[in-house]
Amino acid sequence: MLPTRSILTGASRGLGRALALSLARPGARLVLVARGADALDAVAVAARARGADVLAISADQGELSGLDGVAARALDFLGTPELLVLNASTLGAVPMPRLLDSSDDVLERTFRVNAVGPLALVRRLAPAMVLAGRGHVVGISSDAAVEAYPTWGPYGGSKAALDHLLAVLAAELDGSGVSVHAFDPGEMATDMHRDALPDADPATLRDPSDVAIALLAALDDPGPVRRSLGGAA
């Protein structure tokens, strides 16, 4: 059954937008987070047109000082969340440099956006799920978290860090009723993919709407942490 109270980061485009529209229906409450307010508002309007109640929060998940406010507004709007999708992510510098050419700033910012910020959100939002004894936390992972692709170091390293943090969280929450998943969406036709691999043929890539449906269908599968679906990406 689809969750009715969900928080989605990176909801203004790509997979996050597709998830928002897949979840939007009468009775659903959605909290959508991204930095760009205009694109986020457009998704909120589309989700409301499908009958959902929507709170759009413009925030940078790499700016940790703002996350108390994000979480407070989300919990106030939703009550206890049933689903938290840690989807927002950055490639770091584009084009992506080799590690020896990466700046300290890019390394630090990429890990903060892709791993530290998401875990900081979990720390603020998941305790309500644990109290309720139910809910799903899903981190969007990548093939780059397990394969050593040249120039994908900051991105892949930060995704590996997020995967491992969520694996530990899953072990710590075992028996709590809250499931923790790592979901690899595969290669999707999105802005991020175009930024990373501009020469790829979009026709060979997955439609984020199909991936959103697969992710939501996988929520009720057994098992605490899965790298799942999607194939290479």
Ligand X SMILES: NC(=O)c1ccc[n+]([C@@H]2O[C@H](COP(=O)([O-])OP(=O)(O)OC[C@H]3O[C@@H](n4cnc5c(N)ncnc54)[C@H](OP(=O)(O)O)[C@@H]3O)[C@@H](O)[C@H]2O)c1
- Least gap, CB of 183 to ligand X (angstroms): 9
Distance CA 27, CA 191 (A): 31
- The residue among 3 and 14 lying less far from ligand X, judged by its C-beta, is 14
- 83: helix, strand or coil: strand
Q: Write out the residues near ligand X by the rule CB under 6 A.
A: 9-16, 34-36, 39, 60-62, 87-90, 113, 140, 142, 185, 187-188, 190-193, 208, 233
- The residue among 144 and 176 lying less far from ligand X, judged by its C-beta, is 144
212 — phi, psi (to 5°)? -60, -45
Residue number of the CB atom closest to ligand X: 14
- Least gap, CB of 132 to ligand X (angstroms): 26
Question: What's the token pair of residue 17?
Answer: 């937008």
Distance CA 102, CA 9 (A): 26
Residue 44: name the closest of 69, 12, 5, 67 by CA. 12
- Least gap, CB of 123 to ligand X (angstroms): 17
- The residue among 131 and 146 lying less far from ligand X, judged by its C-beta, is 146
- Least gap, CB of 202 to ligand X (angstroms): 11
- Least gap, CB of 91 to ligand X (angstroms): 8
Distance CA 51, CA 53 (A): 7
CA angle 115, 19, 25 (to 5 degrees): 140
- The residue among 10 and 81 lying less far from ligand X, judged by its C-beta, is 10
- The residue among 69 and 133 lying less far from ligand X, judged by its C-beta, is 69
Asked if 226 and 181 count as a contact pair (C-beta separation under 8 A), the reply is yes
- The residue among 92 and 135 lying less far from ligand X, judged by its C-beta, is 92
- Least gap, CB of 80 to ligand X (angstroms): 23
Residues sharing a CB contact under 8 Å with residue 99, sequence separation 6 or more, in sequence order: 153, 154
